[in-house]
Amino acid sequence: MYARTLRPLLFLVPPGAAHALAFAGLAPLEHLAPLRAAARAWLAPPADPRLRVRAMGLDFPSPLGLAGGFDKNARRPRALAALGFGHLELGTVTARPQAANPRPNLFRLPADRALVNRLGFPNEGAARVAARVRAVRGRVGVGVPVALSIGKSRAVPVDDLEAVVADYAASFEAVRDAADFVVVNVSSPNTAGLRSMQAGEHARTLLGALAARAAGKPLLVKMAPDLDDAGIEALLEAVEQAKLAGVVATNTTIGREGLATDARRVQAIGAGGLSGPPLRRRALEVVRRVRARLGKEAVVVGVGGVERAEHAMDLVRAGADLVQMYTGFIYEGPGAPGRIARELAAMVEREGAPSIAALRG
């Protein structure tokens, strides 16, 4: 029904307006427990021990989660969990509240089932968002593990490493007790200079400083798909030195190769991070490389182009413990998380495996 009726209607309006409409539609689900129970019964898969993943000391009912960027201010976590996601990454939040980059800043590429965004971490600030998450979890809970993603405030100059570390540290301190785990976003292409924080010395300094504050809170770093081999190795070395729990692979790409969308349209859109199926192949490559370098104990979250169970399973076989979707959720609709989870369970059964974790590469 979504693909035939709701998506065409939503796609008649600009992407930002469609996102606002979707959030308005999720409001009753967020605030009314009977509706969440009904949605869970209708859309979410029944608990299946074959899909359960144990990672970072947490229990994930399924490996499929929602990627960061969809719910930047943690306004709909209970509603999103009720749709069947096995975990949520909320944010990205920054120490200082900030608005989005100038509009237009979000674009659809329907021919590629992709998005381009240059939003730039719009959020109400780490402290306020974390307080909202604590309040929700304290009242009725969310029902699945919750991550908060932290990024650099736009106002902090990227060439002042001490200020950057202090800014990230302020965000981490604000969200630490609200989240089950924290994702350090150093790879968005939409904050000027941010990706330089993936470089060896910068990454070692930042990740080491945050790890020193972690006090047992699992920390993951989100990496760009556009790093070359040397850049990947340098970042993963910093991950190992800081003893982080693992990596989220990958963020959006600045690449535009192989798109079906007319090149003039792509050029007119301009800068921003591309997400969706065009990222799928590279995400698989990076997940394999991360797993090979970090070994079996590290947590790897695979992100990029997940629309169907086959895509999620490909990431698992490449080495991902968990997978996430965002753009596929936009194109496939609210039934996608539950459908993918049910199909994953069927795939595990066909393989004769005791669990999806047993199929991890």
Rg (CA), the chain: 19
Give yes or no for a contact between 287 and 236, defined as CB atoms under 8 angstroms apart: no
Contacts of 55 (CB under 8 A, 6+ apart): 299, 321, 322
Catalytically annotated residues: 188
Indicate the residue type of 90: L
Indicate the residue type of 324: Q
Q: How far is CA 74 from CA 25, 36, 77, 134, 240, in A?
A: 15, 17, 6, 10, 30
Q: Which residues pair with 61 in a beta bridge?
A: none
Give yes or no for a contact between 159 and 102, defined as CB atoms under 8 angstroms apart: no
